[in-house]
Amino acid sequence: MTRLFEPTRCQVDPSTGAMGNATGSYQKRFLDLDGLYADAAAFEAMRATWGERIVYEVSEFRPTEQPGDLIFGVTRMAPGKVGDEYFMTRGHIHKQADRPEIYYGQKGHGLMLMESPEGEIRILPVHAQTVCYVPPYWIHRSINVGEDDLVMLFCYPADSGQGYEIIARSGGMRSRVVTGDEGWKAVDNPDWRPRDAKLISALYARQSRTVPA
């Protein structure tokens, strides 16, 4: 018997990043992002003023986690920097690594930083009304390089899942985004370590699409 779900509409407020009819939400406070940034001393210096403040938050509509279904929502990220490095999300790869994602800019000036399993980097600016396609297999993280909130809508297959450890195991993403002479610039992350061939082939494996533990 088919279980029929009720169609839903969610109103998005681009100015605040709020989404009506959300089924869930979460916030990342500054303290939750310890270890993400290159400049640990700058992070410590900001702890007193920023500690409990929200760096980014997500409201989502998650009907089910069944293959073929969709999860969508809105993310809002505050502007700011730790040292010279812009505020960013933790970043992830989809546990079902062949699952893609769409981001749609609503407000502000952001970047989508993407890294392939082999360590190739792509950086795409996302502004209001920019649609950004994150293809399967790319690790992705969003970065706020503007002076205002960055608000984006996202949508991905409901069975994607999110794997965070792949970034930590490599010593971070291969590029960091910092202030440059004219806006932002990407610099190499000296702590980055390449993934071994076994992990890369496991990520691409057709039979086992789940990120290895």
Q: Name the site residues for Fe ion (rule: CB under 5 A).
A: 101
Q: Encoding tokens for residue 6?
A: 């009720």
Identify the sign of the CA torsion 193, 198, 201, 205.
Answer: negative
**Measured distance CA(38)–CA(13) in Å, rounded:** 33
Positions at the binding site: 92, 94, 101, 140
Smallest distance from the beta carbon of 45 to Fe ion, in angstroms?
Answer: 31
Pick 80 or 136: Cβ nearer Fe ion: 136
Pick 85 or 101: Cβ nearer Fe ion: 101
Smallest distance from the beta carbon of 117 to Fe ion, in angstroms?
Answer: 15
Smallest distance from the beta carbon of 138 to Fe ion, in angstroms?
Answer: 9
Positions at the binding site for Fe cation: 92, 94, 101, 140
Smallest distance from the beta carbon of 1 to Fe ion, in angstroms?
Answer: 32
**Measured distance CA(125)–CA(177) in Å, rounded:** 12
Q: Encoding tokens for residue 91?
A: 């970043």
Cα separation values, 165 from 1, 161, 169, 170, Å: 39, 13, 6, 9
State the residue number with the nearest CB to Fe ion: 101
Pick 135 or 212: Cβ nearer Fe ion: 135
Q: Encoding tokens for residue 12?
A: 């998005």
Pick 15 or 64: Cβ nearer Fe ion: 64
Smallest distance from the beta carbon of 212 to Fe ion, in angstroms?
Answer: 18
